[in-house]
Amino acid sequence: MPPMTPTTLGAGVVKRTTRLSDGRELIYFDDPGSELPDDRGSDIREPAPRPATATMRHDVLTGDWVSVAAARQNRAFLPPAELDPLAPQTSANPSEIPSRYDVAVFENKSPSFGPATGDPAPLGTAGLGAERPSVGRCEVVCFSPEHEGSFGTQTRTRARTVIEAWADRTAALSAVPGVAQVFPFENRGEAIGVTLPHPHGQIYAYPYVTPRTRTLLTQIDAEGVDLFDRILAFERHSERVVLQGEHWTAFVPFAARWPVEVHLLPHRQVADFAATTDAERDELAPLYLRLLRGVDALYDTPTPYIAAWHQAPVEEGRDTVRLHLQLTSPRRAADKLKYLAGSEAAMGAWIADIPPEEQANRLRDALARVPEVDA
């Protein structure tokens, strides 16, 4: 493979773009000062056809769109280290990434949305029996070439590289025809349903604004355009704050649903990662690492969680919807999980097991046991 043209991003992160044997895009994000070579190996696998784009079906009882993506049934399930599909390729392991890497992002082989892009047709005219192609894009973000770990186990430098990748991909995916919202997230732990122990997250680029964000937009209309400013001021004057810096504050929300739930907000209106400054990204790297390590310090074993980075839609709410993290875990004790049963799962009516103030106090105690994040 000829040398790829490098692009230098914020914090000295270097980006290189190439293609896998089946045409999927692969992007390397090199740490500042990385010792990786400029050229990277070619994908050794024979080209294989990509699955057909899934189909969305309209649920007239809720107005939601449901993507039916049968190809996802074939995804890897807890493979051994020597067959890790996210590790660098070897002759014995024809994985997804041809070369050694720092951070790598590639198109999902069996996506929930895509590989087709473009306008799926007006969604507002849907009714009973309506279908649309599940256009969009799903990407995998590998935080490290190591077989096991999570975002929280990375170095400060590597965390900053991942944040730069999130910002770069948010900007790129927001410009893809038919994409209405971009969602970076990390699922951690088998209790959450994770099928690969390799440290990684995902980015979904949806062809519609998600139901959760639609509800948020409705609430902003009802409560006022300064809703996030008021939430931040309210929480920063409460006993629920667990971490704060010059640009970010983490807190257990007033109406927390989950046994472990933490929100992390920037101090100014920022629509998405692409709109953050270098200073905000620089502070986020160690602060977010410390938060995740504090969540892990709650118990003697790692805590399962979903780390969901909510961003404003591509075209709506850019001045009112604020980038923010909602980290949630079902772990309510060392050996107990909260299951969503009748009330929560069927009716969406939540009952919290732990008072938010108690959650915050426990997390502050755990954070006090976590060393400062070094380079």
Residuewise pLDDT in 10s, the chain (375 residues)? 545 889 999 999 999 999 999 999 999 999 999 999 998 999 999 999 999 999 999 999 999 999 999 888 777 777 888 999 999 999 999 999 999 999 999 999 999 999 999 976 666 667 899 999 999 999 999 999 999 999 999 999 999 999 999 999 999 999 999 999 999 999 999 999 898 999 999 999 999 999 999 999 999 999 999 999 999 999 999 999 999 999 999 999 999 999 999 999 999 999 999 999 999 999 999 999 999 999 999 999 999 999 999 999 999 999 999 999 999 999 999 999 999 889 999 999 999 999 999 999 999 999 999 998 876
Amino acid at site 243? L
The residue behind tokens 């426990």 is 362
The residue behind tokens 């290189």 is 16
Give the tokens for residue 285: 């790297």
Amino acid at site 44? I
Q: Is 80 left (phi over 0), alpha (psi -120 to 50) or beta?
A: beta
Backbone angles phi, psi at 60, to 5 degrees: -70, -15
Enumerate the H helices of the chain as residue ranges. Answer: 156-174, 211-223, 227-236, 278-296, 356-368
Please state, in angstroms and rounded to a whole number, the distance separating the CA atoms of residues 253 and 326.
10
Amino acid at site 75? R
pLDDT of residue 332: 94
User: Is 297 exposed, middle or buried, given 0-12, 13-18 or 19+ CB atoms closer than 10 A?
Assistant: middle
User: Is 186 exposed, middle or buried, given 0-12, 13-18 or 19+ CB atoms closer than 10 A?
Assistant: buried
Nearest to 327 by CA among 259, 269, 275: 259
Catalytic residue among 198, 200, 247, 324: 200
The residue behind tokens 């009330």 is 343
Please state, in angstroms and rounded to a whole number, the distance separating the CA atoms of residues 375 and 358.
32
Whole-Å CA distances, 48 to 24, 135, 137, 297 = 11, 20, 18, 43
pTM of full prediction above 0.85: yes
| Domain span(s) for CATH 3.30.428.10 in the chain | 49-167+177-203, 213-368
Q: Which run of H or E residues covers position 209?
A: none
Q: What is the dihedral of CA 25, 29, 34, 35, to 10 degrees?
A: -10
pLDDT of residue 75: 72
Helix (H, G, I), strand (E, B) or coil at 361: helix
Longest dimension (CA), the chain: 58
Q: What is the DSSP string of 256-276?
A: --SSEEEEEEESS---SGGG-
Find the length of the chain: 375
Amino acid at site 120? P
Please state, in angstroms and rounded to a whole number, the distance separating the CA atoms of residues 231 and 237.
10
Please state, in angstroms and rounded to a whole number, the distance separating the CA atoms of residues 236 and 288.
17
For 123, which DSSP code?
A: G
Is 267 among the catalytic positions? no
Give the CATH number of domain 49-167+177-203: 3.30.428.10
Give the tokens for residue 318: 């850019």
Please state, in angstroms and rounded to a whole number, the distance separating the CA atoms of residues 188 and 15.
26
pLDDT of residue 120: 66
Please state, in angstroms and rounded to a whole number, the distance separating the CA atoms of residues 180 and 206.
6
Sign of the CA dihedral running 105, 110, 112, 115: positive
Give the tokens for residue 185: 């997230």
Domain 213-368 = CATH 3.30.428.10: yes
> Is 25 in contact with 107 (CB distance < 8 Å)?
yes
